[in-house]
Amino acid sequence: MTSGAVSIRNVSKAFGAFKALDDVSLDIEPGEFLTLLGPSGSGKTTLLNVIAGFERPDAGSLLVDGVEFITRPPHKRDLGMVFQNYALFPHMDVFNNVAYPLKLRRVSSSSIRERVRQALDVVQMAHLSARRVTELSGGQKQRVALARAIVFEPKLLLMDEPLSALDKNLREHMQIELKRLHDRLGMTTVYVTHDQQEALTMSDRVAVLRSGKIVQLDTPKTIYDRPNCRFVASFMGETRMLPVRKAGNGYEFAGRQLKLAQPPSAGAEQWLVVRPERLGWHGHDERDNRIEGLVVDVVYRGDSHSIALKLPGDHEISIRHTPVQDHPLPEPGQTLTLWLTPQASVLVEETGA
Amino acid sequence: MSLKRLAIANLLGAATALLMASSAMAAGETLTISGFGGNLQKDLRATLWQPAADAAGVTLSEETQDGLASVRVQVQSGSPTWDIVHLGADECAVGGKEGLFEPLDYKVIKTDGFDKKAYGDHWIATNTYSVVLAWRTDVYKDKHPTSWKDFWDVKAFPGRRALSTYPQEMMEIALLGAGVSKDKLYPLDTKLSLEKLKEIKPDISVWWSSGAQSAQLLKDKEVDMMAIWGSRVASVIKDGAPVEFTYDNGILGYGCLAILKGSTHVAAAQKFIAGVVSPEIQARIPEMMPYYGPTNSLAFKVGKFSPEVLAKSNMSPENVAKQTFIDANWWRDNNELVREDYSLLISN
Amino acid sequence: MTTVAADLLPPNAGVLNAGLLGGDERRQRLAMFGLSVPALVLVALVLLVPFSWLAWLSFFDASGALSGENYARLLRPAYVNSFLSTLQVSAAVTAICILLGYPVAYLLSQLPQRVAQVLLVFIILPFWTSVLVRTYAWLVLLQREGVINTWLKQLGLISESLPLVNNLTGTIIGMVHVMLPFLILPLYSSMRAIDPVYLRAAANCGASPAQSFRQVFLPLSAPGLGAGAALTFVLCLGFYLTPALLGGGRVAMWSTQIADAVSKFANWGAASALSVALLVVTGIILWAMKWAVRRLGSSLGEG
């Protein structure tokens, strides 16, 4: 399947004074799994609804495989969509829910049976095809909704926070399944979520949105390792932003010159991105950056201890101490010295470049 | 002439003596009387009941009833809170047959001057009303209908007509329209009557079911001629509507009093009723309740009335001669079946 | 400690405090039942007792003897005719209410909540005036010299007054006016409860607006429609005032027969039999409607 290229050009949408989408442009490759990530109100769902045709933008263009879609009514767009609360038709059983898009396309009934069975097989729900949807669990509903979205083999699959209503274990399981399904079917997928973990796990590329604009569009690894601004950095993982001071050519933190692998941008206001898992227990003053903190709490967690650490500037961060660590377990009240390698020491500005 | 005067004087004397005697006996008792309520009850109290109660020396307390069903409930309870009830004539007849009432003591209650159809063993009529032919004078300018025959003559008198949804009086009217003479009405030839009603049915634009509705129909010119209660048409005319009516061929119905079985004031009630139907008190009706009439024809001998009052009263000797009394006993025995046929006829 | 306690228990007790806990549960159940007693008593007093009395009365004739006369009477032409016309009028009024009420309820359900609430007030407004007043208002509008006929004649559209009232037409107009809120309100609330996402989902599946309305919205609103229609129909069956005033005596409703049996003939037995027959038929119709609504919902879902 090679088609399914989406090209979004200068799309804007305002609700009164509120700009939901502010001149957004985005190209999605055929077969790509692209995630729109952002907090609520960032415009990610609005953008998805523009693609699906549920929201009419004030300006802009939407090309799908080179065809202008911007004024095409939703039922003529041939896109599969999985809704946040599944939106399975409560008056139809599982089979009829999945068969509905095919019936509308006037597929013969024998072919409908075959294709519905295949779609339900893909999501491992074939054995429940006669169930009423009200009798399904959340995860089962999710699978049926997915089957309904893919049964007519759309070029483009849209998903609006499809896992947000599931509990944590099921959600993590479904993330892997969705990823595998995408690898297997290869349809272009646009996925909306506010969960950075989900975005990093599943996507080929992630577009981070804020206030109706895309602030960073990149692979998950780049987004995580090289956030281009304070907003993106703080959105990923448990991150603390420590303000640094410009000193000469470089920057200093807590009175020490920072050793950096990559030259920072020229901005005056910069923050050091501190992620707990990047903090090393051992380091060298000549090579690495020293971070000192006050141990506030030590909590036993079975496989590890969780240590609450107060960093300079009143930032609290939680790091893990595992039994394999050759560093002794610190005690509350103690000052703990940790290390950041120059590669792990990333400075960001308030806004992206 | 002088003989007649003497007779009246004697009668008056006797009546006065009777009333005085009864007042002495019944002093202090309270009679509870239950009627239809509304203006009718107010008028009846002022005209008939209060003077009769005063004469009998009893205190009167009023209630309202909604038909024979409520009377039955009272009697079945064993100790009715009502003593006397004012009902329609056929209801009195039915109630009497069912044993809901005490027999009336016709040694106390005098029926001189009464039509034979106007009292029974257990009840006596106290006031009459007329069902008359009324028409819009703005529709029938040159010649107006004068009889029920004209009502049936849709060629000579085109126009919209109305009759009641209740068969009583309407069945009689249909027979009069068919040319049956008014003294040969009973027993009613129901077959002929229903045939005549069927014949006029296409020209009946409304079958009315309440007095207020019937008056409104005529006032609003919804219909051009109709059968209507005399008291109702009078109010329409009083309101200035171009309407006239005639007592010719009118049907006289009546309201009646009866004593509930189990009443603890039977003797006082007999005296009260005797007072209500006495000529002196009955003579109050023509002036106080025009378009209703006394059931005791002696009222017109006792009282002195102006020609205008006599012309209005449905029971003045001149007007009563034009009309015919309803037979409550016939209706008592035939009401239900006739009503079924009648309702089937009007709704199909 | 624990062994001592176990030793103290009688050998057949088996489990610690089993008897005590069982008794506690029974007491709690009894308390729960006790709480529902007022409701049960109320239901018995206002529903079961009067209806049983009614049913009991219906087996006695006017003289008080046990007989089937009251039911035999129902087969006589006047009653059969009245029964059929009651059903016909009720069905016609319900059908017209659906035709008029469904689009109104749909419009309201699609409007913003605040606007809809304002408009709903206009629908509920007639409840604040008595049915009698509203019915007389129709009389003023519809009669021969009434507002509508006068206007039509002045506009030269008609030369003779149209017979709009004192017949079946007037009855149905008046009844529809009274009944419409009873259809719209349950229908509206059920439509409000339909998540608009279902319509989006249908559109996404490829359904045109007409298709998604028929195949998704309509079946999902069917329970509300059924409830509204059943309510309207049942209220129509027992409706007395409007047919009596606007029917011109021609519309012989079952309720009129009941009223006559009581007020004109004081025949409780006959009235009871009429009421019991109405109740039974109403029950059958409600059951049939429920069944039909379920069929409608699922057949539209599969179609």
ipTM summary value? 0.83
Give the number of other CB atoms < 10 A from CB of residue B29: 19
With beta carbons less than 8 A apart as the criterion, state whether B82 and B113 touch.
Answer: no
How many helices (H) and strands (E) would you count in chain C? 15, 0
Q: For chain A, what are the domain ranges?
A: 6-225, 242-348
- Give CA separation, B313 vs B89, B234, B288, B295, in Å: 20, 11, 10, 12
Mean pLDDT of B113-139: 93
Q: Omega of the bond prior to B187 within 30 degrees of 0, cis?
A: yes
CA distance A290 to B97: 117
Select from B165, B203, B228 the residue whose CB has the most chain C CBs within 10 Å, as the one to mutate to test that interface.
B165
Q: Of the ranges A38-42, A298-302, B7-11, B245-249, which one carries the lowest mean pLDDT score?
A: B7-11
Asked if the A242-348 domain carries CATH number 3.30.9.90, the reply is no
Q: Report pLDDT for A302.
A: 87
Q: Which residue has the higher pLDDT, B191 or A263?
A: B191
How far apart CA A51 and CA A66 sit, in angstroms, is: 14
What sign for the dihedral angle of Cα B151, B152, B157, B163? positive
Interface of C with B (CB under 8 A): 62, 76-79, 81-82, 85, 139, 143-146, 163, 166, 244-245, 248-252, 257, 260, 262-268
* Of the ranges A255-259, B17-21, B169-173, the best mean pLDDT one: B169-173
Task: Break chain C into its structural domains and give their ranges.
Answer: 17-57, 69-302
Q: How many Cβ contacts (< 8 angstroms) between chains A and C?
A: 72
pLDDT of residue B24: 44
Q: Are A148 and C211 inside 8 Å of each other by CB? A: no
Confidence of residue C4 (pLDDT cuts 50, 70, 90): very low
C216 DSSP assignment: I
Mean pLDDT of B60-78: 87
Arithmetic mean of pLDDT over chain C? 86
More confident residue, C2 or B300: B300
Comparing CB atoms, the residue among C248, C257, C263 nearest residue B205 is C248
Burial bucket for residue C210 (CB in 10 Å: 0-12, 13-18, 19+)? exposed
pLDDT given for residue A2 in this prediction: 52
To test the contact with chain B by mutation, choose from C142, C144, C263 the residue with the greatest count of B C-beta atoms within 10 A, namely: C144
Is residue A81 within 8 Å of A159, Cβ to Cβ? yes
Q: With pLDDT > 70 as the criterion, what percentage of chain C qualifies?
A: 91
A21 neighbors A43 (Cβ within 8 angstroms) = yes
Cross-chain residue pair B221–C166, CB shorter than 8 Å: no
For the domain spanning C69-302, the CATH number is 1.10.3720.10
Residues of A within 8 A of C215 (CB-CB) are 100
Is a pLDDT exceeding 50 seen at residue B2?
no
User: What is the pLDDT averaged over residues B267-287?
Assistant: 94
Question: Which sequence spans correspond to the domains of chain B?
Answer: 2-128+253-323, 131-250+325-347
What pLDDT shows up at residue A269? 80
What single string gives the DSSP state of each residue in C158-187? Answer: -SS----SSSHHHHHHHHHHHHHHHHHHHH
Q: Chain A: list its partners (3+ Cβ pairs within 8 Å).
A: C
CA B259/CA B256 separation, integer angstroms:
10
A122 band by pLDDT with thresholds 50, 70 and 90? confident
Q: What is the pLDDT of residue C299?
A: 64
CA torsion sign for B240, B241, B242, B245 is negative
Chains in touch with B (≥3 Cβ pairs < 8 A): C
Domains B2-128+253-323 and B131-250+325-347 agree in fold: yes
At residue C251, the pLDDT reads 86
Q: What is the pLDDT of residue A267?
A: 73
A263 and chain C in contact, CB less than 8 A: no
CA gap B202, B152 in Å, rounded = 11
Cα–Cα distance between C131 and C242 in angstroms, integer? 8
Q: Do C200 and A90 touch (CB under 8 A)?
A: no
Asked whether the beta carbons of residue A83 and residue C203 sit closer than 8 angstroms, the reply is: no
Chain C residue nearest residue B162, CA to CA: C248
Asked if C208 lies within 8 A of A80 by C-beta distance, the reply is no
- Whether residue B160 lies within 8 A of chain C, CB to CB, comes out as yes
Residues of chain A positioned with their CB less than 8 A from the CB of C198? 87, 89
Please report the sign of the dihedral spanned by the C-alpha atoms of residue B65, residue B71, residue B72, residue B77: positive
CATH architecture of A6-225: 3-Layer(aba) Sandwich (3.40)
Residue B326 pLDDT = 92
Q: What is the pLDDT of residue C10?
A: 55
Q: What is the pLDDT of residue A317?
A: 86
A69 and chain C in contact, CB less than 8 A: no
For residues A203 and A74, what is the distance between their CA atoms, to the nearest angstrom? 25
Q: Please, what's the b/e burial string for A24-33 (b: 16 or more CB within 10 A of its CB; e: otherwise)?
A: bebebebbbb
Residue type, C41: V
Instruction: Give the per-residue pLDDT at C14.
Output: 62
Whether the per-residue pLDDT at A96 is higher than 70: the answer is: yes
- Res A183 pLDDT > 50: yes
Pick the most confident of A236-245, B79-88, B329-338: B79-88
Is a pLDDT exceeding 80 seen at residue B147? yes
Distances from the Cα of B15 to the Cαs of B28, B154, B293, in angstroms?
Answer: 21, 52, 21
Q: What is the pLDDT of residue B23?
A: 46
Confidence category of residue B52, pLDDT binned at 50, 70, 90: very high
Give the max Cα distance, chain C: 107
Q: Are C200 and A83 a contacting pair at CB < 8 A?
A: yes
For residue A106, the chain C residues in CB contact (below 8 A) are none
Choose the CATH number for B131-250+325-347 among 3.40.190.10, 2.40.40.20, 3.30.390.30, 3.10.129.10: 3.40.190.10
Other CB atoms within 10 A of residue B308 CB = 9
- Separation in Å, CA of C207 to nearest CA in chain B: 49
Are chains A and B in touch, 3+ Cβ pairs below 8 Å?
Answer: no
Architecture of domain B2-128+253-323: 3-Layer(aba) Sandwich (3.40)
What does the alpha-carbon distance between residue B27 and residue B272 come to, in Å, rounded to a whole number? 12
Tens of pLDDT, residue by residue over C173-206, are: 999 999 999 999 999 999 999 999 999 999 999 9
pLDDT for position B110: 93
Contact between chains at C264 and B67 (C-beta distance less than 8 A): yes
Tell which of C195, C205, C299 to mutate to test the A interface (max A CBs under 10 Å): C205
- Percent of chain B having pLDDT more than 70? 92
Q: Which residues pair with B253 in a beta bridge?
A: B129
Chain position carrying tokens 């009846």: B44
Residues of A numbered 27-46 whose beta carbons fall under 8 angstroms of chain C's beta carbons: which are they?
none
Q: Which residues of A touch C297 (CB under 8 A)?
A: 91
The amino acid occupying position A271 is W
Segment A303-314 shows an average pLDDT of 86
The predicted structure's pLDDT at residue B84: 96
Chains B and C contact (Cβ–Cβ under 8 Å for 3 or more pairs): yes
State residue C127's pLDDT score.
81
Q: Residue B33 above 60 pLDDT?
A: yes
What DSSP string describes C59-106?
TB-TTS-B-SHHHHHTTSHHHHHHHHHHHHHHHHHHHHHHHHHHHHHH
